[in-house]
Amino acid sequence: MVGRAKRDSKHDSFYYSCGVDGFEFCEIIAPVGLHEINEHLHRRGTLRDLAALHGSLVQLVTCDEDFGELNWSDAPSLGLATPVFRTECVERVAAVLGDQALFADMPCVGASLVAMWAKPIKGAVDWASSHAVVDASKRVVAVTQLCINASAVQGVSCFTDAELPGLPVTFSESAVRQLRVLRLKGSDFLSVDPKF
């Protein structure tokens, strides 16, 4: 959970990608956790070795107790840390985000999906001013206040922090405006509302 803080109006806002209720989403089916999937993406840039061990890593959930049959999603959510897109959407998303966004095939039962992560930026997060709970393996358990170093990420479409790449991919306000123009079904963005 990210805590709320005052935003300085001269800086961009920042966002995480999230799914929308009533739309398809991804569910992990391999005996690995989301943390392990993120580690492979951030450290190796591929999920091939995990897929070689386990086959498909996720499946699309297309029906749910609360919503019944779910709507088609261009970006079936796997949680905040790892944006996922259908293969046919990647070219448009990549055109908006530029070379800061990186993509890898996401092995999925019955669908062609791609996971996205961002190049890490050293000093993106001011850890001295942020409040995060991190376990022994440097995995973020909770963030109550995220302080983004706006000068380190100025002009960047998306990023993760170099010290703790397991944080969710963070998108700039200008990138989110452009991504919303794409009208990706089932995709939205959650404001990080950082303190500067």
Query: What would the pLDDT profile of 27-43 be if each residue is shown by its tens digit?
Result: 999 888 887 888 788 77
pLDDT for 10 equals 46
pLDDT value, residue 51? 86
CA distance to 21, 72, 100, per residue, from 111 (Å): 20, 12, 25
Give the range of the structural domain holding residue 43, as residue numbers without chain letter.
14-191
Q: Is residue 1 part of a domain?
A: no
CA distance 61 to 79: 13
Residue 176 falls inside a structural domain? yes
Residue 4 lies in a domain: no
Give, in order, the Cα–Cα distances in Å from 137 to each of 27, 39, 88, 126, 167.
24, 11, 35, 20, 13
Residue with tokens 């959930």: 61
Does some domain include residue 3? no
Q: Is residue 79 part of a domain?
A: yes
Whether 157 is covered by a domain: the verdict is: yes
pLDDT of residue 75: 95
Per-residue model confidence as pLDDT tens digits over 104-139: 999 999 899 999 989 889 888 888 888 777 778 766
Per-residue pLDDT, 85: 95
pLDDT at position 8 is 40
What are the residue ranges in the chain where pLDDT is below 70? 1-12, 138-140, 165-166, 193-196
Residue 128 lies in a domain: yes
Predicted local confidence at residue 41, as pLDDT: 82
Predicted local confidence at residue 195, as pLDDT: 46
Inter-residue contact 81 to 61 (CB < 8 Å): no
196 in a structural domain: no
pLDDT score for 4: 33
pLDDT score of 12: 64
Report the domain count for the chain. 1
